[in-house]
């Protein structure tokens, strides 16, 4: 099965540049000591991660990416106390994610909470039904 990869400016879908040559690779070495495999534009020696002239830009992008991933917007409160509220929360969460009001990560977290609440509610329901059945059996016998 052929793998697909993103193309770099100046190369075609087969991975060759306009002159029919394979695209150039970054000349840097990774921290592990292996050659960097990132592609570069024609006439450029390093990828953005290894280009000494762009080091400040790359570091700022990594810092911004780390901060953006760590900050979470406040989430709407959830009511998970009954089966009907679980269904309503599933519908609300799907709608908020589809409208872009919640990220998919937050939506997934809410859905995991809904599933956990469903399990707990199920256990409580079975315990309550078992208690009621025992009570009915005692009343029937007397």
Are both 38 and 101 inside the same structural domain?
Answer: no
Are both 4 and 65 inside the same structural domain?
Answer: yes
Radius of gyration of the chain (CA): 28
Are both 2 and 33 inside the same structural domain?
Answer: yes
Are both 90 and 58 inside the same structural domain?
Answer: no
Could you give the CA distance from residue 138 to residue 4 in angstroms, rounded to a whole number?
69
Could you give the CA distance from residue 111 to residue 103 in angstroms, rounded to a whole number?
12
Q: Please, what is the angle between helix 104-141 and helix 83-99, to 10°?
A: 170
pLDDT by 10s per residue, the chain, length 142: 444 334 444 444 444 545 556 557 889 888 899 998 888 877 888 887 888 888 887 777 777 766 555 555 566 677 777 778 878 888 888 888 888 777 888 888 888 888 888 888 888 888 888 889 999 998 888 7
The closest of 26, 53, 50 to 40, measured between CA atoms, is 26
């Amino acid at each position: 099965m052929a793998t697909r990869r993103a193309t770099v400016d100046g190369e075609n879908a087969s991975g060759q540049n306009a002159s029919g040559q394979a695209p150039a690779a970054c000349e840097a070495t990774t921290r592990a000591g292996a050659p960097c495999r990132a592609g570069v534009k024609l006439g450029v020696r390093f990828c953005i991660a290894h280009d000494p002239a762009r080091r400040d830009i790359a570091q700022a992008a990594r810092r911004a990416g780390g901060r953006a991933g760590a900050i979470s917007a406040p989430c709407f409160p959830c009511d998970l106390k009954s089966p009907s509220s679980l269904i309503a929360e599933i519908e609300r969460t799907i709608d908020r994610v589809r409208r872009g009001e919640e990220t998919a990560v937050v939506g997934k977290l809410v859905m995991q909470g809904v599933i956990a609440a469903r399990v707990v509610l199920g256990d409580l329901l079975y315990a309550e039904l078992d208690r009621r059945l025992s009570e009915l059996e005692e009343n029937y016998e007397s």
